[in-house]
């Protein structure tokens, strides 16, 4: 059976939010960010345009019949739609969560434009309050980095507890490096990526100042150790570009224990 046709990509309004001198204030996922978000994330996150279609591939492999799939921090629904297109098992439910009403309103619009008919429940709430259970695939695509570091272990334990045997968490994050030299090299390459995508030095430095209090990156080793402690059996890094990675945390499959 052929899969339903994909929707056309969300309209790309050029991100010029940091192009002119502005008063420093913390970055927020408000209406002005939601408006330019597809362009902002594509030009700012190396690998984002590869990771999104791979979320579909991974979902296709791990979604289980009769289970729930969650996209926590769904923004405009790019990862939600990838999951929707990847789910081929019967009786799955798909739930997208974001605490930015500006994001959720636009996300509803993009979900409605998509011609895959799997129902999607969107919740405008703090993902720390989201009830989780019977999960086969959960995605945190560049979202955990915005969660209070003290609350991350508890959230990942709740996700692991809610995940069925053989189910997965897809976790994409900006990371930092133990080695100051590697940190400097990867940061420079990330900034070069942004320059190559048309961001000026002023935009790069103002965005960096705005985001550094709210996006707290951790090392790959810290992520892996915490995922294993949370109850996942395997952690596989399936993608890395500069200081951006995506991991697959897999819950033990009882049939292979």
State how far the Cα of 8 lies from the Cα of 28, in Å rounded to an integer: 27
Based on the shown chain and the rule CB under 6 A, indicate whether residue 100 belongs to the binding site for ligand SAM: yes
Chain residues 194-223 in contact with ligand SAM, contact rule CB under 6 A? none
If binding is defined by CB under 6 A, does position 73 make contact with ligand SAM? yes
- In whole angstroms, the minimum distance from the beta carbon of 130 to ligand SAM comes to 8
Of positions 69, 81, 103, 164, contacts ligand SAM by CB under 6 A: 103
Looking at the chain, list the stretches that DSSP marks H as alpha helix, in order from N- to C-terminal side.
Answer: 31-44, 48-62, 78-86, 101-113, 149-162, 180-196, 201-211, 220-230
Q: What residues are paired with 7 via a beta bridge?
A: none
**Could you give the string, one character per residue 113-152, with x where binding to ligand SAM holds by CB under 6 A and - elsewhere?**
-------------xxx------------xxx--xx-----
CA angle, residues 168, 173, 176, in degrees to nearest 5: 135
| 114: Cα within 13 Å, side-chain hemisphere | 25
Strands 244-250 and 163-174: antiparallel
Residue window 10-49: x/- pattern of binding to ligand SAM, with contact defined by CB under 6 A? -------------------x-----------x--------
Residue nearer to ligand SAM on the CB measure, 57 or 184: 57
Residue 37 burial (CB < 10 Å; 0-12/13-18/19+)? buried
DSSP designation for 251? P
Q: Tell me whether residue 83 or residue 227 sits nearer to ligand SAM (CB atom).
A: 83
Site membership for ligand SAM, residue 107 (CB under 6 A): no
Nearer to ligand SAM, 126 or 253 (CB): 126
Min dist CB 151 to ligand SAM, Å, is: 8
Cα separation, 236 vs 234, whole angstroms: 6
Residues that bind ligand SAM (CB under 6 A): 29, 41, 73-75, 78-79, 97-100, 103, 126-128, 141-143, 146-147
């Amino acid at each position: 059976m052929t899969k339903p046709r994909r929707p056309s990509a969300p309209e790309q309004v050029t991100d010029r939010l940091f192009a002119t001198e502005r008063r420093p204030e913390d970055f927020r996922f408000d209406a002005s960010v939601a408006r330019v978000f597809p362009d902002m994330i594509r030009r700012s996150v190396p690998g984002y345009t590869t990771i999104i279609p791979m979320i579909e591939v991974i979902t296709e492999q791990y979604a289980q019949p009769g289970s729930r799939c969650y996209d926590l921090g769904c923004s405009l629904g790019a990862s939600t739609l990838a999951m929707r297109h990847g789910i081929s098992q019967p009786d799955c439910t798909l739930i997208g969560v974001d605490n930015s009403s500006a994001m959720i309103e636009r996300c509803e619009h993009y979900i409605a434009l998509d011609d895959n008919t799997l129902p999607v429940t969107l919740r405008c709430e703090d993902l720390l309050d989201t009830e989780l259970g019977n999960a086969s695939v959960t995605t945190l695509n560049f979202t955990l980095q915005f969660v209070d570091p003290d609350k991350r272990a508890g959230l990942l334990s709740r996700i692991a507890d809610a995940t069925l045997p053989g189910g997965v968490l897809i976790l994409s994050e900006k990371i930092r490096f133990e080695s100051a030299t590697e940190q400097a090299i990867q940061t420079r390459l990330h900034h070069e990526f942004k320059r190559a995508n048309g961001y000026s030095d002023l935009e790069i430095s103002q965005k960096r100042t705005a985001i550094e209090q709210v996006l707290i990156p951790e090392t790959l080793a810290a992520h892996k150790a915490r995922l294993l402690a949370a109850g996942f059996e395997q952690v596989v890094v399936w993608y890395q570009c500069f200081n951006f990675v995506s991991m697959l945390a897999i819950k033990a499959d009882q049939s292979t224990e």
